[in-house]
Amino acid sequence: MAIFEQVELQTSRLLLRPLQESDAVALLAIFSDEKVMQYWSTPPWDSIDIAHALIARDLKAMAAGEYIRLGIERVEDHVLIGTTSLFDLNEQCCRAEIGYGMASSAWGVGYMHEALSALLDFGFSELKLNRVEADIDPRNLASAKSLERLGFSREGYLRERWIVDGVVSDTALYGLLFSDWNNTHQ
């Protein structure tokens, strides 16, 4: 099983790196934003304690190889603008689920595409994944567009899958195979 605590991925504008305690304030700012959390499976964060707990959980889980969550840091100013993760790793089936969130102030300039491309490259090349899945709220058109631009196909629809703060929402399921990724990213 891989150990993820030392993983860093560099792109032209971003550094994807493990979260650290000093990221707690930035994480709270991102994940307390109602725009960011509108389609999330949990309500907006309301306490710095949630950020500290996530960081502590991540450090243990990444050292154990359970999942990988990397902070997305903008290289030009060293500001943490989001996170991306591969979780629900299934070694036997060479499968994982991808997750991501980004500060609304960083939307619309291609950062998420850049970050997810780097993480998918890592997943397919280093972790030898065959399939990556995503579960999004179908009303989140920007997320759907991001996934489709990366080569994901919409494969399913689950009605009333989530209830967050009393709001019921559906799920759109997306999948990306290594063969699809390899054909478009050679």
Q: Is 3 a member of any domain? A: no
User: Which residue range(s) make up the domain with 126?
Assistant: 9-184
Q: Is 28 a member of any domain? A: yes
The values of phi and psi at residue 9, to 5°, are -125, 130
- Which neighbouring-strand residues pair with 46? none
Counting the structural domains of the chain, the total is 1
Q: Is 156 a member of any domain? A: yes
Q: Is 1 a member of any domain? A: no
Q: Is 122 a member of any domain? A: yes
Q: Is 4 a member of any domain? A: no
Per-residue tens of pLDDT for the chain, all 186 residues: 567 888 999 999 999 999 999 999 999 999 999 898 888 888 899 999 999 999 999 999 999 999 999 999 999 999 999 999 999 999 999 999 999 999 999 999 999 999 999 999 999 999 999 999 999 999 999 999 999 999 999 999 999 888 878 888 899 999 999 999 988 876
Find the angle CA(148)-CA(54)-CA(4) to the nearest 5 degrees: 70
pTM to 2 decimal places: 0.93
